[in-house]
Structure 1
Amino acid sequence: MATITTPRLQLSPFKPSDWAFFRSLREDRAIMRYMAAIAPEKETRRLFAIRLAAPHTFVIRSRHEDTPLGDIGLQISAKYREEADIGYTVIPQAQGKGIASEALRAVCDYAFTQTGVKAINAYVLADNAGSVRVLEKMGFVRTQVLEQAYEIDGVRYDDWVYRLECGAGGTAFARPT
């Protein structure tokens, strides 16, 4: 599995020692308010096991510190091998510092240059203004509005679908190592 480096970040595959960090992300209400209800630990462990085995899922860290700043993952479609979905999370202390943008650019570049993916889709709640800004700054284009399509803790939200096609997101930025 690849490790991706950028000027400030290192994106590396999940390791068993990342469990405490992953669990803390999934139990943080400030983070989960845009993702899902906080799940029981058994379900969080199941999701972590999937991350450990997934080939294009990374922990985001500063290149100079080992402290995790977030995670980001690319899931290539089994049916349409040239398409993938992407998702990311950044801890509150690292938000607003360009971490999500830098990691997103790096994984999109990796996807387009190393995996054969030609288009990347992202799903974001309409209320998640920070993530919407990150996607739009990267060149993702909103292609669909799914009204009241996503539910978290009994509340329904609009889900926005964004898409980035190969060549639409700028120049190469990161190199897998």
Structure 2
Amino acid sequence: MELSSDRIKLTAFDQSDFDLFVELSMCPKVMEHVYTPLTLEQATAAFEAKSRPWTPDCDTWLCFGINARASGEKLGNIGIKITDHEAKIAETGFMIKPTAQGKGFAGEALGLVKAYVFNHLKLNKLTATCAAANTGSYKLLEKSGFLREGCLKQNTLINNRYVDDYLYGLCRSDI
């Protein structure tokens, strides 16, 4: 499966995405607002879990590598997980390598995922959770039409420190 825009294409995870996924998952700077950096063993296991075959009735993540169309450079990853099949709700999350941040790639990838979720999967809502201190992520979500629906105090443990998380949602009726 491939989703594409003028500058990027999203392709379902395959072995070519392994190195960047592991690098991002183990990087303290990238993981600062996501979760405690993983060990190589943990990152390998997470990649294997996220690159299994996916169908819309799965309870697992559908992960895409974000690739520059012109050069094929690996830029990051984005995924969706249907969290409530009956209510037609999915969650999304993304990671972009530091050298590709601030260039609009995450916004383009999120736009492609939104279109896939609402137009192809016919879901009703897309949600996202991000650390309250992750300014880049929450500004991107808000710019992409997501509404902040709440704040969960001390919701996530990152590097032995509890952090607050913002909850975001985007309903089909809001696009």
Query: SS of the residue aligned with 2:33?
Result: coil
Give the aligned partner of residue 47 of structure 2. Answer: 48
- AA matched with 2:34: M
Query: SS of the residue aligned with 2:71?
Result: coil
Please list, as runs of the form range in 1=range in 2, the aligned pairs for 1:105-120 lying within 5 A after superposition.
105-120=111-126
Normalised by the length of structure 1, the TM-score is 0.90
Q: Shift of the alpha carbon at 1:81?
A: 5.3
Give the aligned partner of residue 28 of structure 1. Answer: 27
Q: Say if 2:171 is the partner of 1:165.
A: yes
Give the aligned partner of residue 128 of structure 1. Answer: 134
- AA matched with 1:33: E
C-alpha separation between the residues in 1 aligned to 2:160 and 2:41? Answer: 21
Normalised by the length of structure 2, the TM-score is 0.91
Give the aligned partner of residue 101 of structure 2. Answer: 95
Q: Say if 2:153 is the partner of 1:154.
A: no
- AA matched with 1:70: G
- AA matched with 1:51: K
Give the aligned partner of residue 38 of structure 1. Answer: 37
Give the aligned partner of residue 6 of structure 2. Answer: 7
Q: Shift of the alpha carbon at 1:17?
A: 2.6
- AA matched with 1:46: A
Query: SS of the residue aligned with 2:9?
Result: strand
Q: Is the 8 A contact 2:26 2:43 kept in 1?
A: no
Q: Is the 8 A contact 2:26 2:40 kept in 1?
A: no
Count of residue pairs the alignment pairs up: 168
Percentage of identical aligned residues? 30
Give the aligned partner of residue 67 of structure 1. Answer: 73
C-alpha separation between the residues in 2 aligned to 1:77 and 1:156? Answer: 24
Q: Shift of the alpha carbon at 1:40?
A: 1.9
- AA matched with 1:17: S
Q: Is the 8 A contact 2:84 2:90 kept in 1?
A: no
Give the aligned partner of residue 174 of structure 1. Answer: none
Q: Shift of the alpha carbon at 1:34?
A: 1.0
C-alpha separation between the residues in 2 aligned to 1:19 and 1:122? Answer: 23
Gaps of 5+ in 2: 55-61
- AA matched with 2:128: A
Give the aligned partner of residue 173 of structure 1. Answer: none
- AA matched with 2:123: V
C-alpha separation between the residues in 1 aligned to 2:139 and 2:84? Answer: 29
Gaps of 5+ in 1: 170-177
Query: SS of the residue aligned with 1:36?
Result: coil
Per-residue deviation, residues 28-84 of structure 1 (Å, max 9, x unmatched): 111111111112222111110112115331000111112210100010125535100
C-alpha separation between the residues in 2 aligned to 1:50 and 1:7? Answer: 30
Query: SS of the residue aligned with 2:140?
Result: helix
